Structure 1
Amino acid sequence: MVDKSEQLTLLARIGFAARGAVYVLLGYLALTTAARETVDDGAGDAFAWIADIPGGALVLYLAAAGLVGYALYRLSGALFDIERKGTDPKGIGHRIGYFVSAIVHTAMAWTATKVASGARKSGDDQSSEMAQSVLGFPLGETVLGIAGIALLIAGAFQARNAITASFMKHVSHTAPAATCWIGRAGHAARGVVFALIGWSLLRSAWLERSSEVRSLGGAINDLRDMGPAFSLVAAGLLLFGVFSLILSRYRIIPDPLPARAGLFGKALS
C-alpha cells in the first residue's frame, strides 16, 4: 500500500511536470506571437491554450492537481524543513521562499481550474484588479511594497542560481548532461522576469496606482521592444519549462512528511 509520503512525492513530481508544461507553453507563445495583447496573463494564457485542445479541460484538472501537490511539497519545505535549510537567517529566508512558492502554485492551480470550468478566458489579467483591492486596505501600499521587495530578492536568488548552478545538488547524477546549462538559462530568465514584476509592485506601492502592476505575461510583453533580449528571455522561460520537466524525473525529493523537524527545527511527534 502506498503511504502518504509516497503519494505526496508523486504529486510533487507531477507538479514539476505541470510547471514545466506551463513555462514551455509560455515561452512558446511569447516567441511565436507578435501581438502584445495575446500574452497578458502568463499562466492563464497557457492554460487557455490547453483548454482549446481536445480533452484540454481534463488535462487542466490534472495539472491543477499536480500544482497542488507541488504546493504541498513546498509547504512541507517551509514548515518542516525537509530540504534541511536550518533556522539561521539564510535558512529562514529559503523557507519563506518555499512558503511564497506554495501560495503562487496554489494560485496557479486555482487559475487552471477556473479556465477548465470556463469561468476564465485568455487575456483576463486580474493583476491590476488584485493590486487595487490590496491598495484599498489599510497599509495596502506597504503590503505591495513588501511583495515587490520579496520578488526582487527572489529574482536575485534566481540570478545567483544561474551563476552558481547550486540547484544541481538536488538533481540526480543520472540526469541528462545538458541539465545544468538548461537550468542556468531558465533561472536567468526567471530572474529577469521576477525583477520586472517586483519593480512593478514597488512602483504601484509608491505611486498608489494598480495599473503599474505587471503579471508574468505583462512583464514578458514589456521586453518585446528590446529585440534580442526579449527573445533570450522568452527562450529562457521555455528552457526553464524543459528543466522543470527534467526535474519531474530526476529531482531528489526528501520525505515530505518527516517524523522530525518542525517549523523551528524542533522534533514533532
Structure 2
Amino acid sequence: MNASSKARRSARKAKADGERAGRQAAHSRSLRILAGIGYAARGLIYLIIGYIALRIAFGDSGGEEADNSGALQIIAQGEVGTILLWVVAVGLAALTLWQVLLALLVKGDAKKRLAGAVRAATCAALTFAIVTFLLGRGAPESQDSQAESLTAQLMSLPFGRWLIALIGLTLIGVGCYQIWKGATRRFTRDLTFDGASRTVRTAVVWIGTAGIITHGLVLGTAGVFFVQAAWTFDEDEAQGLDGTLRSFSETPVGPYALVAVAVGVVLYGVYCFCQARWQRD
C-alpha cells in the first residue's frame, strides 16, 4: 500500500470517527435535556413577542418592541430575571450545538440540513445577544435597527443590493418551507409523542400547524421587505420582526390581521414547548 492510499484510508477513518463522535454527542441525554431547555426558551420568547404584538394591535404596547429585544427586556424585569436569562442562554447555546450536529450528520435531506443550519444561526445570534446583555454591555438592539444597519452596510458594497436581495429571497424561501411544513403537517415526523394521549397529540398537531404556518408567514413577509429595500435602494424599507408584525395592522382589515398573526405567534411559542417535550433525536 503506497503513501497516498494510506493517507486516504486515514482520512476516511478520521472522518468516520468524527461522524461517530458527533452522533454520540447529538444523541447524548445531557445535551438533549439542555436542547429541550433551549426549545422551551424559544417558546417563552415567542410567547412574549406574541403578547407584545397583541398589545400593539389593541393600541398599548407599553413602549416595548415585538421582537427578541422586547422579550428579553420583559424577562429581565422579574425578580429572578437574570437567573432566568442565564438559563435561557445556556439552553439556546445547547440547542445551537445540537442543531449544528444534526445539520452536519443528516444525510440525503438537503432541506433538513438547511433548516438545521438556519435554526443554529438564529439561536447562536440570540444566545450572543443575551450573553452580551447579561455582561452589562447594553440592552439588545431592536431587530428593526439591526435590519436597517445591516442593509445600510451591505449597500455600501459593490454588489450590496444583490446580497440584500439574496437575504430577502432566503427568508422568503425559509418562510415558504415553514408554511408548507405546517400545512402538510410534516413537522409531526420530528415528534415522538411518547406517552401522549390521543387528545394531546391532536392538540399539538393543531397548535403546530397554526404556529408554524404563522412563523413562515412572518419570515416570508420580512424577506419581502428586504427585497423591497434592495429594489428601492432604501435601507429604511428593511424591517425586523417588530416592523414586520406591525405591517400586518396596515392591511385593509386593520388591526384584526395583526391580532390573528399575534395569536399565531403565541401558538408557535406553545409549539416550541411541545418540541421541548417530544422532539425526536
TM-score (normalizing by structure 1): 0.84
Q: How far off its partner does 1:52 sit?
A: 1.1
Matching residue of 1:140 = 160
Identity of aligned residues (%): 26
> Cα deviations across residues 118-159 of structure 1 (Å, max 9, x unaligned)?
433377432211221222233222222111111111111111
Task: Give the structure with higher Rg (CA).
Answer: 2
> Of residues 65, 68, 76 in structure 2, which corresponds to 1:51?
76
> Of residues 187, 193, 210 in structure 2, which corresponds to 1:167?
187
Runs of 4+ with deviation above 4 angstroms: none
Structure 1 position 245 matched with structure 2 position 273: yes
Matching residue of 1:259 = none
Matching residue of 1:188 = 213
Structure 1: unaligned runs, 5 residues or longer: 254-269
> Cα deviations across residues 139-197 of structure 1 (Å, max 9, x unaligned)?
22222211111111111111112211111111123342300000011012112101111
8 A contact 2:52–2:66 mirrored in 1: no
- Rounded to whole Å, the distance in 2 between the matches of 1:36 and 1:145 is 31
Given the superposition, is the C-alpha separation of residues 122 and 222 from structure 1 closer, same or farther in structure 2, using an over 3 Å criterion?
farther
Larger RCO (CA under 8 A, 6+ residues apart): 1
Matching residue of 1:110 = 128
Structure 2: unaligned runs, 5 residues or longer: 1-23
Residue correspondences, number: 244
Given the superposition, is the C-alpha separation of residues 9 and 111 from structure 1 closer, same or farther in structure 2, using an over 3 Å criterion?
same
TM-score (normalizing by structure 2): 0.80
Give the AA of the match of 1:179.
V
8 A contact 1:30–1:39 mirrored in 2: no
8 A contact 1:36–1:221 mirrored in 2: no
Q: How far off its partner does 1:94 sit?
A: 3.0
The alignment's C-alpha RMSD in Å is 2.0
Matched ranges for 1:115-130 at <5 A = 115-121=133-139, 124=142, 125-130=145-150
Higher helix share: 2
Give the AA of the match of 2:231.
W
Matched ranges for 1:1-269 at <5 A = 4=25, 5-33=28-56, 34-35=59-60, 38-40=63-65, 42-81=67-106, 84=107, 86=108, 91-121=109-139, 124=142, 125-173=145-193, 174-175=195-196, 176-177=200-201, 178-225=203-250, 226-253=254-281
Q: How far off its partner does 1:14 sit?
A: 1.1
Matching residue of 2:7 = none
